[in-house]
Amino acid sequence: MRQLIAGNWKMNGLLADSLELASAVVKGAAALPCDVLVCPPATVLRAVAGKVAGTAVAVGGQDCHAKEKGAHTGDISAAMLKDAGASAVILGHSERRTDHGESSPEVRAKVVAAVACGLLPIVCVGETEAERLAGRQEDVVRAQVWDSLPDGFAGVIAYEPVWAIGTGRTPTEADVAAMHACIRAVLLERLGEGGRRLRILYGGSVKPANARTLLALPEVGGALVGGASLAAADFLAIAAAAAD
């Protein structure tokens, strides 16, 4: 399966910057050996989706509510994301789990809502530094994968060690490979054969300088890129490093 390079713009970008960034990504995206997704803030998602329509670049949201609609001030439903032009949504990012106290069962409910609207869910998991130092990283991630996925899950997993996000630090190649193998084993156990071909992205300080090495590791099905996705040249360089 082609690798997926996804840019998580997080809470960055007013309309003009976002359209400029999207245009620059589109310009470089045509000949890339991978699928490309950008996940802008909800306020500019429709405009970005309009800008990339008909190109190789897809658009995703960064979160959605588990409910279809109702009295949930400030929240956004999966149907709203779809209506605005999204084809995917990031769910259970560690910043959501930390800032908003999202539990894995809540993430699972969001996955169900996203799938019901035809969105590709990208479910994030990853251990904290304390958990890794205690040697608990595989137990933590295994539980997150197990509890965040509904039966029959057919989306994407993103392994993002919390301590590697925005820090410039990454796990060793052996540690990434070991965790991706662990996640694959959990997917097979949880989903049966359906878990064999799901893409497992790596995320956390992916840069042009380390992308080729990370993307060549076994069971790495792409990258979820934060900071480096805000500069089109860096994001495109990472995408160009994808293994085809």
Q: Which residues are catalytic?
A: 93, 160
What residue number has its CB nearest to ligand 13P? 226
Give the footprint of ligand 13P on this chain (CB under 6 A): 8, 93, 160, 165-166, 203-206, 224-228
Nearest approach, Cβ of residue 118 and ligand 13P (Å): 22
* 3-class secondary structure, 3: coil
Nearest approach, Cβ of residue 162 and ligand 13P (Å): 9
Nearest approach, Cβ of residue 224 and ligand 13P (Å): 4
Residue 200 pairs in a beta bridge with 157
Specify the residue, 195 or 203, whose C-beta has the smaller distance to ligand 13P. 203
CA dihedral 229, 231, 235, 237 (to 10 degrees): -160
Report how far residue 114's alpha carbon sits from residue 47's, in angstroms, rounded to the nearest whole number: 21
Specify the residue, 105 or 166, whose C-beta has the smaller distance to ligand 13P. 166
The token duo for 174 is 């052996």
Specify the residue, 10 or 79, whose C-beta has the smaller distance to ligand 13P. 10
Specify the residue, 28 or 203, whose C-beta has the smaller distance to ligand 13P. 203
Burial class (CB in 10 A: 0-12, 13-18, 19+), 215: buried
Report how far residue 129's alpha carbon sits from residue 162's, in angstroms, rounded to the nearest whole number: 7
Q: What length does the chain have?
A: 244
Nearest approach, Cβ of residue 71 and ligand 13P (Å): 29
